[in-house]
Structures are given as structure tokens and as C-alpha cells.
Structure 1
Amino acid sequence: MGKKRVMVPAEDVDLSAVKYQHEAIQAPHLTGLKFKLFVKLLETPLVGPLIISRLKKDNKIVELLQNTVIPEAPMYKPEYPPQEPEPGVVVVDEDGKPEDRVELAVNCLPPYNSASCWNEDLASPFRYWKIRDYAHAYRSQFVTPSMVAEKIISVIEEFNKKDPPTPLLISFDAEEVRKQAAASTKRFEEGSPISILDGILIAIKDDIDLYPHPSKGGTTWMHEVRPMKEDAVSVSRLRCCGVIFVGKANMHEFGMGTTGNNPNYGTTRNPHALDRYTGGSSSGPAAIVASGLCSAALGTDGGGSIRIPSSLCGVVGLKTTYGRTNIRGSLYDYGTVAVIGPIASSVEDVMLVYAAILGSNPADRISLNPSPPCLPNLSSCDGADALGSLRLGKYTAWFNDVQSTDVSDTCEDMLNLLSKTHGCEMVEIVIPEMQEMRTSHLLSIGSEFIQSLNPDIEDGKGVRLNYDSRTSIALFRSFNASDYIAAQCLRSTSIRGCSCFALRLFTHGSILTENSSCFSSLPISCSPTPHSSLDVYSCGTLILNWRRLMYHHMEIFKKVDVIVTPTTGMTAPKIPSGALSYGETNLQITGYLMRFVVAANLLGFPAISIPVGYDKQGLPIGLQLISRPWGEATLLRLASAVEELYAKPKKRPASFYDVLKTK
């Protein structure tokens, strides 16, 4: 029969025959000088390709791509129709002022109870100060933004003096922070704060533009070849709300790693255990929030890079639907898997920052035709009914594929509590072709990364990258055009049918899937007419023909509202001593950290990580919720319920700073 492998069409896959397969990555774990030598071999003309070829063969990359016949056409970016409005939500004007959206979000929250937050007896157990706590303190003149800024500046300067370096920020300007804080303090003195975010200190990941700081992406040279003259769109929206930007947060170089290791500037440590990783690639944003220094931070998520560090550091991280936030002004504005999203210590703070930054890129709004953004009305009693009607999908074999049962048991306990308290229905699901999904994501993000970086690599900048980045580059450069197209065939969806000449006009027709019962009722006159890569139907009916991985997941979302998993398959891994100078490669660790996250990136779904407990070593554990496209409101509502149900006091991180303490 040869090596050829033929996949049946997605709709013909027999789910009853699907068997979950544990991902066993075949690759060496290397640190220090051994890792340096390995990279030198990878970059040797004859030896390197042989090593890469063996690694790809051992991990079935060749089998799943070059030797497989995939019946579906490719999809080069996530596409889906508008969704029905979620119950108990408030529609947000994405074209309105960011400060107006934030005010709307505040009105969606339960009433603020200052007594419960500021009473010494009730506040004595460890807690994170929330954005509304800061706003109350500023308005009540307990503290000023300038006073808080001075405390944070002193801590950041202390971190920058540590040996070995463990910086939270790559770029920091104390005088710039003081200038912003003074302007905010003046607004409060005049009784005219811009929004509830006025005076709130927020860190920005180093791959998102924050003027006048350079955007290095964790490298030593990216700012040399990519001059930056203005804020990213998301940063500009926060600035309109009066936010104080503390600086550019540390990250894994170019975001191409899951640990947060960065020999260029020093590796950020996990605030809960300083000998452990924060997770990556948004390592600095998660650590600076977990340590209490900033109420929130912005990160990017192309392969779990918001959710992984949020889980490992015990905070909340939201990855939005692809296209829901405008990624212009980041290093990944060329890509199809990455988004910008918030990290904060609480769901309500994530919601407030999300309200400020949401709003699609105009081009994405035309091509993706997103549903209107919504926020859950958490101040209304209708929320209980909305929670009770939710169906939660759990693929048990996948859910339990973790390094320690502490992770799966803790997440399982929370799901049982959700069902008992709110009546959420648990539904067993099966997700086929998970190995294909991981491979498709690797090809997609890797090909996009190498395409954007190739000119600089050829110009000699590649040798200035970390050894783990150079390892990734060697692998990504071995992929060819047929590999990339095969990956997009696995991802696959296709659109057939539009009413006119612009995709925006889809909203004037009806939206069906090919297996919809309505499909057979199309008028006989609606014959397809070739138009570019689309089929045009004169009746104005759009038909979305989901295939392969997108098809499998959209079929699941007909049965459930949310897919539930642990966020990561392990808690924070230890930092090997040899990894600080040269980095490390440990794809087994990467496999555990990325086990549950890639579907949301490859297929563009929204997802959120919420802390739900600790393992036996006191390390945080996160629960992940994945919703159907444009379902951020459902995620925020359910995440808020999870947060409320977690009644045990949070553990104070080993590295924590109470910058709002007034005594």
C-alpha cells in the first residue's frame, strides 16, 4: 500500500471509533553548552537537515502532511458566521469611545461594596486589589496615582538590580511613569477622571507598540529594523481611558516558547515559586499582575501565550475570538492565529480592560463579519438563568491527559461545583484528529513567523537570536509550500454564496451550513456562479461549508456552549540552572503546557483561563473555557461564576507587593 494515508471527509468520521492518543513528543531536553552545540549542528548545512528530518519523522509531521491525502480545500484564516445573541447581555458599540465602553462595562458589574473591601477584618486574608478598589481609593483621596506609581517604580528598580537578572520589564522609564501619574492625579484633584481606568497602572507585552518605548519582542535587535512611531490600536484605546503605562513587559523571545525563558534580559520568575517558570510567552505580563504591581496587562496569544502564563501564575487571561480585537501595532499583525488580550487578577478586571480594547480591524470586519460585541450583565438576576442553561462539553480522555492528577482533579471539582450550584449540564464529547490539529497549528504559526522574519535572518540578524529561537527557525525553514497548504486543508473551512459584491452584504441574506435542513430549500434559480474563490448565489444566501477541524468543532458547538479543559497539563516547571545563560529546549514540557490551548488559536475561538486551586506544592492550577465564535460574553459570565464559587482564600505569592496599602 505504500506510505500514502487517505483521510475520509470530515463529515464521514466515525466518532464512536475515535481513540484519544497521548502526545509523546520525541526530542532531546538540552540546556547549557550541550544546547549551544546542538544548535550549531542544526545550522550546519549537511548535518542540520538530517537532524530536522529525523525529528519530523519521529513526530509524524511528514506522515500527517506530505504522506496524507486530505479531501478538503484549505482555509487560510478562521471564518464563521455571526452567532445568535447570548442571553442576558449588553451590546457594545465597537465604534464608540473606549471610555464609554468601559463605563458600560462598569454598569454590567454587581454594585461595588467598599465596606467589604476596606474593612480591616474582612480584608486581612490575602486578596488582590481590583481596578474598582483603586478607583475608590483615588476618589476617596486615600492615595493618589502618583503615590502608587512611586511604590511601583521603587519595586521595578529593585528588580532591575537583582543578580541573576529577573526583570519584569524590558523597557522602563521612571520619569515617563511619573509624568503620566501626575496628569492622572491632577484629573482626580479637579474631579474629572476620564474613566474607571484612569490612574490604573498597566504593563504592555514587549511585542505590542507602546510609544515611546521600542518594541523588541524580547530580542536584542527587533527595534533596529522595525521603527515605531505610535501606539498599537489597543494601547491607544487604553490611553484614551487614562491608563498609566508602566512599561514593556518581559517575554519569551519573539513569543516562540512556552516557558518565558529569556537569556537576553533575564528570565522572569514565577511569583508563587521563584525557582519556577512563569510560562510563556507573556511571562512578564502575567508575573507583574500576579505580584500585585499592576492591576492588568496586555499580552498576545498565538499558541496559549496569554492563557499558559495566566494559569501558571494564578491569574485570569482572556484570548478573544480571532478578529475581535485589533492587532495592528503588534509584531503579529500579519498572522492568522494571534490576538491581543488582557491579563488581570480577576474576571471583572479582565472585562473592564477587554471593553476598552475591543473592536475589529476594519478589514477583518468586512471579511469576518463578526457578531456585535457583547458583555454579560452580571448585575442582573437574569444571569442565573443564563448559567443554568449552559451545556459544558468535556472530552474526558483529553481532560485527564495531565502530568499530575492534582490538575485534572482540581478542575473536575470545580465543574462538579458548577453543576451542583448553577445546574450547568455536563456533556461528554469527542474531538477527532487532535494530533493533526497540533501539527496544523505548528505549521501555521511557524510558517507565518518565518515569513515575517526571513529578510532579517538573511540579513545576518538570525545569529543574534537565542538558541531556542534558532532551533525553531531551523524547523520552520524546513517546511515547504505543500506542507503549509496541507496544514490549511486540515484547518479548513470554505465559504460558498454571497449576495452581492461585498462580503459585508452577507448580513442581508440568510446564513446556512451545507448540512442545514434549510439547504434543500434553496430556490431552483440559485445556481452557483464562480466569483474569485467564492460561489455567488443570486438569492442572497450565504452557505458556510465547514470542513475538517473547523467542522468537527462547529459540530460540537451545536451540542454544547463551552468546551472545558485544564488550561495546562502541568503546573509551573522548575528552571534548570543551565537554562539561564543559553536557554533550553524541552519539547516534553512544551507538550504539557500547550496540550489544551491550540484549538482556540488555530480555529480562532475565544478562551479564558481562571485560577481554581493549587497542587500539592502550592502551585496555581487554571481551568480553561473555550466558547463558540464571538462568545466572549458567555466566557466572562461563566468565568465570573467559577471565580465566585472558588471560596478558598488565594495564597499570597512568595513575591507580592501591596502597592495600595494605605497604612
Structure 2
Amino acid sequence: MVYNLKDPTTPIVSGRLLAVLTNILERIGETTGLTTHLCNDADLFVLRNIEYEESPTTMPIWAPVPEMVLAAAADGKNVVSADEYLRRLQHEADQQVNSRASSSPTPNNCFRSCRDFYVSYKKNAGIDPIKVAEELIAFIKQADQTSPPLGAVWNWNEESIRKQANASAMRYREGAPLSILDGVPIIVKDEVDVEGYETGVGTTFINKGNPAKADAHLVALLRAKGAIIFGKSTMHEIGLGLTNFNPSTTTPRNPYQPNHSTGGSSGGSAAAVAAGLCPIAIGCDGGGSVRAPSAYCGIYGLKPTQGRVSSRGEYPLAPTVALSGPMCANMEDLAIVYAIMSGKDENDSNSLFQPLVALPAPISIKATSTGLLQGLRIGIYRQWFEDVTHPEIAQICYKMLDGLVKTHGAVLVDIEIPELHENAKAHNITIVTEMISKVWSNRRKLNYQTRLEVAMMGSLGAQDYFLAQQQRTRSIRFLETLFGHKATDKHHQSTYPCKGGVVDVIVTPTTGNLPPRINAGALSHGESNYLNSVKAMQYMMMCNFSGIPGITAVAGYTKEKYHHKINGDQYDTGFPVGIQFMGQWWDERRLIHIASVCESVLETRQKPKIWLGFDSE
């Protein structure tokens, strides 16, 4: 099997040159064949050379097989339902209230968790939701005064924050908090409806003057558990990019390296969590938009199985590949939010096929724990794994894997996955076509970076989208084979080879590059850097395209420090590096357990340069 993932050769353009090129493409790009030439350079016509026999798959909702439903059934010991998970966790926290034990559930963690807030509130230890709300308001204002400004929060409301905090404080005084999440601040990406806020999707014109009349389904679920939804986070314009460079609204800064990208398109959410404004944020992931910024900013992020979380109230930018997911400072919080926001929604037909939402039973995972992944088969395609722009990325991820194998009993299985290049291009075609269909009539209102992408992709046709959906069918069949499921299309069973043994999960670095530097031209006009996008997304797209879940955990930090001064302070923190695990459909439980073990293996957790939040106790 030949490894065929190829890097593009398209030029890097930013600033005024980007504006000039965009205007040229929009006016004469198609008539001169320039847009066709650029698409060809990006190899976006590669699917036209394939004779497909497969039927197209337009929505990758994978029907759970009977044995999976049985395997996911809660046994009470190792696997519990979402409700039981939350009940047990809150019971543990209640026991801490009456003890002298530290409220921090994870080692080496400089970030305050839901459990920290909950225990402090119940102990009445000089902190309550009202005080936290006032500190949060001060932090948000302070974030705008940093140099450079953090740029994580796009829209927020002091009155709403105080109202929610007062209600939460009253519940604690009455001894009746709604959950372990009660009084915890959460920010939501500007792609998801929050009552009273415009859902601008990173633009200045979508839903302008038309605030949402109701919360999205997932936001309503979080609010019902007492969460303080304090605002909307910045994002890459219409989600069409992995840098979060956005001249239309604002460009958020990476709290670890403020002159570098947060990743996107959920970059504001990642920056808010990494800087300590909140322990939890909601992002949306259509091509890595939860996982890439989580990795760049040194936090944890989950893209669930397609159909696991209701999309009702989420702006339908790319409905066949995108889904909302949690972005958190630690794994316990991620599990809490996943337990709350997942499950069937009778008003979203795509969510009705799923089996039971299950989680690993709450256990104390310590740095001294051993054997927690005994026999877990981790598939690794080494040539793909090592295809990174900086050698430390693979080295740091290999070190994490070494801990999972030697300390916890996991087994590495060498595999090969065919047609990575074709799958990547099919995903590109799918997500961009769906996005363009939502903004085509208003495309001239977008910033130059987005307009350039739209103009370039205008050369794609209906045949390209149809071929991409046929390639999606092949991608799903590859993964069925890899995860040990019988081919659903027996006639073509031999057509879908994946070399190596059957595996439980697939591992990769989360991104193939480190956070790119923010250039002045990118701030003023945006930046077109297709190579950077490809390297940031190369491990992302398989999850979105085939519908499987993926999670990113903090693997470590680069030894090579980035040195510069901000406000006279020398800054030499390394770049965070993420490690990604992809599982079979509906198996988020296993991914959450693996990432929790990774959290315990991590030797240290570095605090970022931009820190505005609540320290852990």
C-alpha cells in the first residue's frame, strides 16, 4: 500500500496582496481559468479520475450493530449511563465538602475545574457564584486590555451573567444546586444559538439585529444543570479556516504564544479555556475545529459521533460533517459536559439512531495508577503519524504512547489506511461546498480570506460533490474493516483493504504542525495559506467525513521554547502538542477513558503566558 498523502504547492498570500488577488479571482478567475488552475494545484479534481461503484453516503449516521448496543450497556462497575455518571461524580464531590481533601481531581493541573467550583460553593469557603461572576466580568474586561488583546470573547452581557449567578447562589444557599455544573461559567462558539445573542458565525452581517429567541438544544441542557452561559466566543469567519485569523470580527491570541494562532475555527473557545476565563467552552467541529484549537492551546477537546449531539440550534454551515463538542481544561469536566449534552432529541431526526450514552465509571486515576488500558489495541500508521512539519510533534506523541504501553498495558498495532489523499480531498469538497451554499448570495460581505476561498472553490461542480459522497462510502467501509465489523456491502468486501490487525482505536498527533505565527497582514486582511490548513487538518478529516468520534489530549510541550517579550516580560513557554485518538462509531466512552489516562501520564501541565482566570485550589 502506497502512502499517498501529498502537501499542496499553493502560495501563501496575506495583507493587501490577498485583497488584490481576491478581486482578480472574483472578476475574471473563472473566465480565464485561474480558479480552475488553483483547484488543480490543490488536487481538488483528483476524484474525477476514479471510477466509483459505491452508492453515495450523504449523512454518515452509522446504525449501531446489536453487539455494540450490548457492549455499551451500563454494567455499573466499569460502564455507567450518563445520568449515573453525573450522580456518582456529584456524590464524590459532596463527600469532599465534608473532608479536608483537595478539590482538584487531577494531578499537575493549574486550571480550576467544575469540581473545584462546586466544592468551594458548598463549603461556603469565601466564594460563591456571585463573587465568581464579578471576577469573571473583571477578567473579560482585562482580556481586552492585554497586549495584544486576548480576543476570545465576541459578545457578552454583564446583566445576564449577574442574573444567572444570583439564581445559582440562591440554589446553593437553599442546599439544592442543580448539578455539579451549577454556577460554572461556560462560553459558547458564535455558531450555536444562545437566547438573546446574535449568531453571527464569525461574520458582521449574518443574523445582524436578529438575536436568537431560544437556546440551542445543547445550550438548554447545560443551562438546565445550572451552568452560567456568559457569552459567545470568536471564531474563524463561517468556519472556513484553521487559523482563526478574522479581520471581520477579531483574531484571538494563543495564551501560550500570543503572537501565534489559536487554531480554528473554534479558536475563541480554546483561548478562553486556556487563559482561565472558564473551565469549559463549546465548539463546533466540521474539519477539526474543536480538536485543532484544543491541541494548539493545550486543552482537551472531543468531536462526538455524528448524530450523538443534537444540532438543533446550531447554524447549519456544514451539516453532514460538523457537530458541536466540549473543549475543557481537564478530562473530568469534558466527561461531565459530554454526559449532559449527548443523547436523543426528538426534534432532531439525526440523533435518534444512537445507542445508550455511556461513560467510564468514575474512578480515581492517579499518576501512580497502572494497567488501566490492559489489552487496548491502538492502531498506528507510522508513516502518517510521522508526517509532521516539526519532529518534536511526533516525538512528544510517541513519548505519551510509550507511557500508555509500558505503564498501562496498551498494545500498538501497525496498520495502513488506504486513500488518505482521496479522503482528504473529498472532505474538502464536501465541507466547502456546504459552506458556500449558505453564504453565496452574501459572499462579497465576507473578508478577503474567505472570499478568496469561495472564489477558488467556485470551480467545483455538482459532480465533484457527488463523487465526494461516493468516496465517503469507501472511507466508512475502510473503517468498518479496521474496527472489525463485517463489510456491509458483501459484494465489494474485497475492495476495502486495510492492512494490519483489528484495532480498538487509531492514534495520530492531533495536528501536523505547531501554531502558525500571526502576521500583520493576516490581522488586517486575513491570510491564505493552504499548506498550513492541510497540515493542521490532515489528522482531523477522517472523523468528520466518516462520522466517527475523535478526542485530543495534551501530550506535552515542545522543548524548543519560543522567546519574545510582551510588556517587558520574557516569554519562553513551549508550544503545547496534542495527541488524538479516533474510535468507532458511538464509542466515546472508550476515548474519554483513554484521554483521562493520558492526563495522568502527562508529567506536568504548563500555565500559559496570558492567564486571566481562577487558579485551582
TM over 0.5: yes
Which of residues 354, 371, 374 in structure 2 aligns to 1:388? 374
Counterpart of 2:570 in structure 1 is: none
Q: 1:652 to 1:48 in 2, by over 3 A?
A: farther
**Contact 2:150 2:255 survives alignment (8 Å):** no
Q: Which structure has the greater CA radius of gyration?
A: 1
> How far apart, in 2, do the equivalents of 1:221 and 1:175 lie?
25
Q: Which residue type is aligned with residue 74 of structure 1? A: P
Counterpart of 2:564 in structure 1 is: none
Counterpart of 1:479 in structure 2 is: 460
**Contact 1:22 1:401 survives alignment (8 Å):** no
Q: Which residue type is aligned with residue 53 of structure 1? A: T
Which of residues 539, 543, 547 in structure 2 aligns to 1:596? 539
Which of residues 566, 577, 583 in structure 1 aligns to 2:526? 583
Which of residues 432, 439, 449 in structure 2 aligns to 1:468? 449
Which stretch of the first structure deviates more once superposed, 405-414 or 68-77? 68-77
Q: Which residue type is aligned with residue 438 of structure 1? A: A
CA RMSD, 1 decimal: 3.3
**Contact 1:392 1:563 survives alignment (8 Å):** yes
Counterpart of 1:450 in structure 2 is: 436
Which stretch of the first structure deviates more once superposed, 160-169 or 388-397? 160-169
Q: Deviations over 1:244-297 (max 9, x none)?
A: 011000111111110111112221000001111100000011010001110100
* Residue 120 of structure 2 is aligned to residue 137 of structure 1: yes
Q: Deviations over 1:201-242 (max 9, x none)?
A: 000000100011111011001113865211000000001000
> How far apart, in 2, do the equivalents of 1:481 and 1:273 lie?
42
* Residue 365 of structure 2 is aligned to residue 377 of structure 1: no
> How far apart, in 1, do the equivalents of 2:107 and 2:306 lie?
41
Which of residues 7, 13, 17 in structure 2 aligns to 1:30? 13
**Contact 1:286 1:309 survives alignment (8 Å):** yes
**Contact 2:255 2:611 survives alignment (8 Å):** yes
Which ranges in structure 1 are unaligned for 5 or more consecutive residues? 1-17, 94-98, 496-512, 520-542
> How far apart, in 2, do the equivalents of 1:516 and 1:116 lie?
42
Which of residues 18, 33, 40 in structure 2 aligns to 1:57? 40
Question: What's the offset of the Cα at 1:196?
Answer: 0.5
Which of residues 197, 218, 241 in structure 2 aligns to 1:213? 197
**Contact 1:29 1:587 survives alignment (8 Å):** yes
**Contact 1:389 1:423 survives alignment (8 Å):** yes
Counterpart of 2:64 in structure 1 is: 82
Q: Deviations over 1:627-648 (max 9, x none)?
A: 00001000011111111111x2
Q: 1:595 to 1:516 in 2, by over 3 A?
A: closer
**Contact 2:96 2:119 survives alignment (8 Å):** no
Which of residues 498, 503, 512 in structure 2 aligns to 1:560? 503
Counterpart of 2:550 in structure 1 is: 607
Q: Deviations over 1:148-172 (max 9, x none)?
A: 1111111212233567654211111
Q: Which residue type is aligned with residue 597 of structure 1? A: M
Question: Secondary structure in 1 aligned to 2:425?
Answer: helix
Which of residues 623, 645, 655 in structure 1 aligns to 2:579? 623
Question: Secondary structure in 2 aligned to 1:185?
Answer: helix
Question: Secondary structure in 1 aligned to 2:284?
Answer: strand
Q: Deviations over 1:468-501 (max 9, x none)?
A: 1112211333221111111111111699xxxxxx
Question: Secondary structure in 1 aligned to 2:373?
Answer: helix
- 1:200-599 alignment, distance < 5 Å: 200-224=184-208, 228-332=212-316, 335-362=319-346, 369-379=353-363, 387-454=373-440, 457=441, 461-492=442-473, 544-545=488-489, 552=496, 559-599=502-542
Q: 1:417 to 1:264 in 2, by over 3 A?
A: same
Q: 1:640 to 1:207 in 2, by over 3 A?
A: same
Question: What's the offset of the Cα at 1:47?
Answer: 5.7
Which of residues 77, 92, 97 in structure 1 aligns to 2:81? 92
Q: 1:403 to 1:110 in 2, by over 3 A?
A: farther
Question: What's the offset of the Cα at 1:89?
Answer: 4.3
**Contact 2:312 2:348 survives alignment (8 Å):** no
Question: What's the offset of the Cα at 1:467?
Answer: 1.1
Question: Secondary structure in 2 aligned to 1:611?
Answer: strand
**Contact 1:108 1:376 survives alignment (8 Å):** no
**Contact 2:317 2:435 survives alignment (8 Å):** no
**Contact 2:371 2:407 survives alignment (8 Å):** no
> How far apart, in 2, do the equivalents of 1:282 and 1:637 lie?
24
Instruction: Report percent identity of matched pairs.
Output: 34
**Contact 2:25 2:456 survives alignment (8 Å):** no
Q: Which residue type is aligned with residue 102 of structure 2? A: C
Q: Deviations over 1:36-95 (max 9, x none)?
A: 101001101356762211112223222x222321221211111423152158643536xx
Q: 1:466 to 1:367 in 2, by over 3 A?
A: same
Q: Which residue type is aligned with residue 448 of structure 2? A: Y
Q: Normalising by structure 1, what TM-score?
A: 0.82
> How far apart, in 1, do the equivalents of 2:470 and 2:145 lie?
50
Question: What's the offset of the Cα at 1:560?
Answer: 0.3
**Contact 1:312 1:620 survives alignment (8 Å):** yes
Q: Which residue type is aligned with residue 644 of structure 1? A: S
Q: 1:389 to 1:50 in 2, by over 3 A?
A: same
Q: 1:397 to 1:256 in 2, by over 3 A?
A: same
Which ranges in structure 2 are unaligned for 5 or more consecutive residues? 562-573
Counterpart of 1:67 in structure 2 is: 49
Q: 1:639 to 1:124 in 2, by over 3 A?
A: closer
Q: Which residue type is aligned with residue 135 of structure 1? A: Y
> How far apart, in 2, do the equivalents of 1:517 and 1:250 lie?
40
Q: Deviations over 1:351-403 (max 9, x none)?
A: 0011110013447667873221110113289x977720210000000000001
Question: What's the offset of the Cα at 1:189?
Answer: 1.4
**Contact 1:625 1:635 survives alignment (8 Å):** yes
Q: Which residue type is aligned with residue 81 of structure 2? A: V
Counterpart of 1:528 in structure 2 is: none
Q: 1:445 to 1:361 in 2, by over 3 A?
A: farther
**Contact 1:550 1:603 survives alignment (8 Å):** no
Q: 1:228 to 1:620 in 2, by over 3 A?
A: same
Q: 1:363 to 1:436 in 2, by over 3 A?
A: farther
